[in-house]
């Protein structure tokens, strides 16, 4: 019976694996759009001002007030326009973006329920439509962050709260 280990020693493999992962991460990060995450105060400060467009990237029924699931209310932040991420897959999405005011000269603040969908939307604006990453802002907390603070409202007033599901 062969007593030799059939795998290389860990002290040889670990540094090589670390180096490979580090290089891949470095390369990938150089091509990742550098979109800034913003908080609720940023949204409150700039949404509705000239040159800023607040975009709700969720499906229209959530924007209109339907709760997607327990704990997440339906409705939208006042002043937001609805441009579901799925609409980026339609024919002539660049025209639809322009009609909605989502143009390169504006600063675009994107949100969704938690920030995951809005990151994908931001990525599409930068990669497919050549928006400058410096003009795209991601409200990472989205609706779930917005409703944590007293005084923040969602429209329409009769939106589902997410508790009734």
Local mean pLDDT, 10-residue blocks, the chain (165 residues): 63 73 62 82 95 97 95 95 94 92 97 94 94 95 94 94 74
Q: What is the reported pLDDT for 15? A: 75
Q: What is the reported pLDDT for 149? A: 92
End-to-end alpha-carbon separation of the chain, Å? Answer: 63
Q: What is the reported pLDDT for 66? A: 96
Q: What is the reported pLDDT for 16? A: 73
Q: What is the reported pLDDT for 20? A: 78
| Long-range CB contacts (within 8 A, 24+) of 115-121 | 115/37, 115/139, 115/140, 115/141, 115/142, 117/57, 117/58, 117/85, 118/57, 118/142, 119/35, 120/57, 120/85, 121/55, 121/57, 121/85, 121/88
* Closest-CA residue to 158 (of 97, 93, 67, 84): 67
């Amino acid at each position: 019976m062969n007593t030799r280990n059939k795998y290389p020693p860990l002290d040889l493999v670990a540094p090589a694996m670390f180096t490979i992962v580090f290089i891949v991460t470095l390369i990938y990060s150089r091509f990742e759009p550098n979109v800034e995450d913003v908080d609720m105060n940023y949204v409150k400060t700039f949404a509705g001002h000239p040159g800023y467009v607040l975009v709700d990237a969720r499906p229209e029924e959530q924007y209109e007030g339907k709760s997607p699931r327990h704990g997440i209310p339906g409705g939208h932040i006042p002043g937001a326009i609805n441009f579901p991420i799925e609409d980026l897959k339609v024919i002539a999405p660049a025209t639809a973006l322009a009609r909605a005011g989502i143009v390169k000269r504006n600063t675009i603040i994107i949100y969704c329920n938690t920030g995951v969908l809005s990151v994908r939307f931001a990525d599409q604006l930068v990669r497919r439509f050549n928006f400058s990453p410096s003009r795209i802002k991601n409200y990472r907390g989205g609706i779930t962050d917005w409703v944590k603070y007293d005084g923040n409202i969602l429209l329409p007033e009769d939106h589902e709260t997410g508790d009734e599901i």
